[in-house]
Amino acid sequence: MKTSIHSKVENGKLKTNRKALSEAIEQYNGKEITITIQRKKKTRSNLQNAFYWGCVVPIFKAAIYEQWGERQSTQEIHEFLKQNLHFIEKVNESTGEIIRLAKSTTVDSTVDFMVYLEEIRKFGKEWFNIDVPEPNEILEIEL
């Protein structure tokens, strides 16, 4: 079981949720535990998510169809982008081969997600000769 308790530190002391922390620790009485303390960060925003799924993914979907003649689902495009740009590398212990594992974007901070979007823009330009707009750019579509 994993317990997450958010608090604010002021003058080296927990400002909020001290009781919740004590109660959580009491649940593990007599057991060994690991305590991890990290800075709280905002996960990607709803606006970032909407921009990604509503603009970025469809642009790549159209580019892949146009250049490769392949129709891919929105989810397949998402997996393609993650596999190429948002991954960790691990060593397969039995073969020694380095394998790529796509990372989830759902836990990215807002900053991490902006870095990912910048990598996507570079990738789009280099491999597909497409311009992926910045989130705040106004696009004009010719009909």
Provide the percentage of residues in the chain whose pLDDT is more than 90. Answer: 59
Neighbours of 108 (CB within 10 A): 20
The residue that leads in pLDDT, 138 or 71, is 71
pLDDT band for 7, please (50, 70, 90 cuts).
confident
The pLDDT of residue 38 = 78
Total H helices, total E strands in the chain: 5, 4
pLDDT band for 35, please (50, 70, 90 cuts).
confident
Give me the residue spans of the domains in the chain: 1-40, 46-128
The residue that leads in pLDDT, 91 or 137, is 91
The pLDDT of residue 33 = 86
pLDDT band for 28, please (50, 70, 90 cuts).
confident
DSSP, res 109: B
CA-CA distances (angstroms) from residue 25 to 2, 7, 31, 110?
11, 15, 10, 31
The pLDDT of residue 5 = 80
Residues sharing a CB contact under 8 Å with residue 96, sequence separation 6 or more, in sequence order = none
Taking only the tens place, the pLDDT of each residue in 78-105 is 999 999 999 999 999 999 999 999 999 9
In whole angstroms, what is the distance from residue 86 CA to residue 77 CA? 13
Average pLDDT over residues 53-63: 96
Cα angle value 8/108/121 (rounded, 5°): 140
pLDDT band for 137, please (50, 70, 90 cuts).
confident
In whole angstroms, what is the distance from residue 64 CA to residue 62 CA? 6
Report pTM: 0.70
Residue 2 has pLDDT above 80, yes or no: no
